[in-house]
A and B are shown apart, each in its own frame.
Chain A
Amino acid sequence: MTSSASKRLFKEYKGLSSDPPEGITAGPVTEDDMFLWEALIQGPEGTPFEGGVFPAELKFPKDYPLAPPKMKFLVDVWHPNVYPNGEVCISILHPPGDDPMHYEQASERWSPIQSVEKILISVMSMLAEPNDESPANVDAARMWREKRDEYERIVRGNVKKSLGL
Chain B
Amino acid sequence: MELSHDLPDSTDWIDTSLPAFEPLEAALRCEVCKEFYNNPVITSCSHTFCSLCIRRCIGADGKCPACKSACQADKLMPNIAVREVVTKFQEARSKALELARKDKEDSETSVGARKRKVEEAELDEEEPVRQTRARQTRRSARRGETAGTDDAPFVILDSEEEKDGDYLPEGMAKCPICQELMKAHLVFDHVNTCTGEPGDRSTRSRKPSSFPTALQTRPKEPTPPTSRLSGLNYAMLTESALKKKLRDLGIPSTGSKALLIRRHQEWLNIYNSNCDASDAVRKSKRELLRELDEWERTQGGNANTKESYVMKKDFDGQGHAMAHKSQFDDLIANARKRAKAVQKSEPEGKTTREPNQEPQQQPHVDQSTTTQAPHPSTAPPPADAPAARPYEHNESALSTIKAKVDEANRTDSAFPSLSCEKSSSNDRAAKEAEMSEETTLGFQDPFRSPSRKVPMFALPAEPVCDVDSSTAIQ
Write the residues of chain A forming the contact surface with B, with a CB cutoff of 8 angstroms.
1-15, 17-20, 22-23, 25, 27-35, 38, 40, 42, 45, 48, 50-53, 55, 57, 62-63, 65-67, 74-76, 84-86, 95-97, 106-107, 111-113, 149, 152-154, 156-158, 160-165
Query: Which residues from A are CB-within-8-Å of B310?
Result: 1-2, 6
Interface string of B199-212 (1 = CB under 8 A from A): 00000000000000
B353 touching A154 by the CB < 8 A rule?
yes
B457 touching A75 by the CB < 8 A rule?
yes
Closest partner residue, chain A, to B414 (CB atom): A85
Nearest chain A CB to B372 CB, angstrom units: 17
Query: Which residues from A are CB-within-8-Å of B307?
Result: 1-3, 6, 33-34
Q: Which residues 348-362 in B have Cβ within 8 Å of A in the complex? A: 352-353, 355, 357-358, 360-361
Assuming the contacts A29-B453, A113-B66, A153-B358, asked whether A42 and B335 have C-beta atoms less than 8 A apart, the reply is yes
B364 within 8 A of A: yes
A111 touching B65 by the CB < 8 A rule?
yes
A112 touching B419 by the CB < 8 A rule?
no
Query: Which residues from A are CB-within-8-Å of B335?
Result: 42, 51-53, 163
Q: Which of B320, B452, B461 contacts A164 (CB 8 A)?
A: B461
CA distance A63 to B60 in the complex (A): 10
Q: Which residues 25-67 in B have Cβ within 8 Å of A in the complex? A: 31-35, 53, 56-57, 60-61, 63, 65-66
CA distance A149 to B307 in the complex (A): 47
B311 touching A106 by the CB < 8 A rule?
no
CA distance A14 to B419 in the complex (A): 33
Q: Which of A1, A9, A156 contacts B294 (CB 8 A)?
A: A1
Interface string of B348-390 (1 = CB under 8 A from A): 0000110101101100100000000001110000000000000
Assuming the contacts A19-B11, A66-B56, asked whether A163 and B309 have C-beta atoms less than 8 A apart, the reply is no
Query: Which residues from A are CB-within-8-Å of B57?
Result: 66, 112
CA distance A11 to B306 in the complex (A): 18
A111 touching B68 by the CB < 8 A rule?
yes
B192 within 8 A of A: no
Assuming the contacts A42-B335, A112-B32, A156-B357, asked whether A30 and B450 have C-beta atoms less than 8 A apart, the reply is yes
Nearest chain B CB to A38 CB, angstrom units: 5
Assuming the contacts A42-B331, A65-B32, A160-B339, asked whether A3 and B311 have C-beta atoms less than 8 A apart, the reply is no
B309 touching A165 by the CB < 8 A rule?
no
A32 touching B308 by the CB < 8 A rule?
yes
B33 touching A6 by the CB < 8 A rule?
no
A149 touching B419 by the CB < 8 A rule?
no
A–B pairs, 11, beta carbons within 8 Å: A1-B294, A2-B298, A3-B298, A18-B11, A29-B456, A40-B328, A53-B331, A75-B418, A75-B457, A112-B65, A161-B419
Query: Which residues from B are CB-within-8-Å of A2?
Result: 298, 307-311
Query: Which residues from A are CB-within-8-Å of B56?
Result: 63, 66
B87 within 8 A of A: no
B299 touching A62 by the CB < 8 A rule?
yes
Closest partner residue, chain A, to B462 (CB atom): A164
Write the residues of chain B forming the contact surface with A, with a CB cutoff of 8 angstroms.
3, 7, 9, 11, 14, 31-35, 53, 56-57, 60-61, 63, 65-66, 68, 294-295, 297-299, 303, 306-312, 315, 317, 320, 323-324, 327-328, 331-332, 334-336, 338-339, 342-343, 352-353, 355, 357-358, 360-361, 364, 375-377, 414-415, 418-420, 446-447, 449-453, 456-457, 460-465
A96 touching B33 by the CB < 8 A rule?
no
A-B contacts, CB under 8 A, total: 223
B456 touching A164 by the CB < 8 A rule?
no
Residue among B294, B339, B464 having the largest count of chain A Cβ atoms under 10 Å = B339
Q: Which secondary structure dominates chain A's binding surface?
A: mixed
Query: Which residues from A are CB-within-8-Å of B446?
Result: 27, 29-30
CA distance A47 to B31 in the complex (A): 34
CA distance A14 to B319 in the complex (A): 11
B457 touching A55 by the CB < 8 A rule?
yes
Nearest chain B CB to A5 CB, angstrom units: 7
CA distance A99 to B304 in the complex (A): 29
A63 touching B299 by the CB < 8 A rule?
yes
CA distance A60 to B129 in the complex (A): 64
CA distance A1 to B290 in the complex (A): 11
CA distance A25 to B462 in the complex (A): 19
Closest partner residue, chain A, to B364 (CB atom): A51
Nearest chain B CB to A46 CB, angstrom units: 10
Closest partner residue, chain B, to A48 (CB atom): B361
Query: Which residues from A are CB-within-8-Å of B355?
Result: 153
Query: Which residues from B are CB-within-8-Å of A112?
Result: 31-32, 53, 57, 65
B68 touching A107 by the CB < 8 A rule?
yes
Closest partner residue, chain A, to B417 (CB atom): A161
B419 touching A164 by the CB < 8 A rule?
yes
B456 touching A42 by the CB < 8 A rule?
no
B68 touching A86 by the CB < 8 A rule?
no
A34 touching B311 by the CB < 8 A rule?
yes
Assuming the contacts A7-B33, A163-B339, A164-B419, asked whether A32 and B309 have C-beta atoms less than 8 A apart, the reply is yes
Nearest chain B CB to A140 CB, angstrom units: 14
Query: Which residues from B are CB-within-8-Å of A34?
Result: 307-308, 311
A11 touching B331 by the CB < 8 A rule?
no
Query: Which residues from A are CB-within-8-Å of B450?
Result: 30
Query: Which residues from A are CB-within-8-Å of B7?
Result: 10-11, 14
CA distance A51 to B376 in the complex (A): 8
Residue among A76, A153, A160 having the largest count of chain B Cβ atoms under 10 Å = A160
A153 touching B308 by the CB < 8 A rule?
no
CA distance A40 to B325 in the complex (A): 12
CA distance A40 to B327 in the complex (A): 10
Query: Which residues from B are CB-within-8-Å of A95?
Result: 60-61
